[in-house]
Amino acid sequence: MLDQIEVFTHSSIRIKAQIGNIYLDPFQIKEEAHDADFILITHSHYDHFSVDDIRKILKEDTILVVPESMVDDARELAPEVKELVTVTPAISKNVHGLELETVPAYNNIKPFHPRRAEWVGYIMVLDGKRIYVAGDTGLTKEGKQVKCDIALVPVGGTYTMDPKKAAELINTIKPEIAIPTHYGTVVGRPSDGKTFAGLVNAPVKVVEKIKSFEK
């Protein structure tokens, strides 16, 4: 499954699973692939919900999943996809065969991602593995309760966890593999991934996946 996970830039993710191609927060997409079976959006900030980038990957039968609190933002895409599905934090949902759980994503102290916005991270059950994509979040009590095999977590600081807080989360939930995201372009340094890796305890394996730090 690790080889099927790509991180293009920042928090732009594609997972090639048996159920289809799943994109999360597509951003700065370079090619018009139009190969998305599912597109999952964590929240409405421009570097996570980019209509132009979504249009480069959607096709007629794409399922678009967004937090209910940002459905008005997503309505313009509804005519271009098969279905627009909404979610709220802390639920389980089967979306056309894709098993999802949502995890509240918010800042504890910082004002950028308030809990009241009801933004989310996603746990997906794919090919027998539980994959957690945290979205933009601080170190939260809900995050510490996640059970997963692979975790993709933000490490760039400023708006999210920094490498130290992200490592604390990973050392608490102990997935098999941790993949750092959200650093090196919009926010954070290209070195943040290695800083994070140095703080994560064995036997968790840290794998850097970001392909580009171009701004």
Residue 67's CATH number = 3.60.15.10
Whether 139 maps to a domain, the answer reads yes
Does residue 11 lie within any of the structural domains?
yes
Question: Is residue 86 domain-resident?
Answer: yes
CA angle 205, 210, 215 (to 5 degrees): 150
* Domain contains 40: yes
Residue 142 lies in a domain: yes
pLDDT band at 108 (very low <50, low <70, confident <90, very high): confident
What residues make up the domain containing 119?
A: 2-206
Tell me what the pLDDT averaged over the chain comes to: 95
Spatial separation of the C-alpha atoms in residues 16 and 93, rounded to whole Å: 20
What's the pLDDT tens digit per position in 55-86? 999 999 999 999 999 999 999 999 999 999 99
| pLDDT tens digit sequence for 136-149 | 999 999 999 999 99
Crossing angle (nearest 10°) for helices 192-199 and 163-173 = 40
| Contact of 152 with 143, CB cutoff 8 Å | no
Mean pLDDT of 182-193: 90
pTM to 2 decimal places: 0.96
- Alpha carbon 32 to its chain's center: 20
- Backbone torsions φ then ψ of 21, nearest 5 degrees: -90, 125
Within a domain: residue 193?
A: yes
Residue 211 in any domain: the answer is: no
202 lies in a domain? Answer: yes
Least confident of 7-16, 85-94, 165-174, 198-207: 7-16
Residue whose token pair is 């994109």: 23
When divided into structural domains, the chain yields a total of: 1
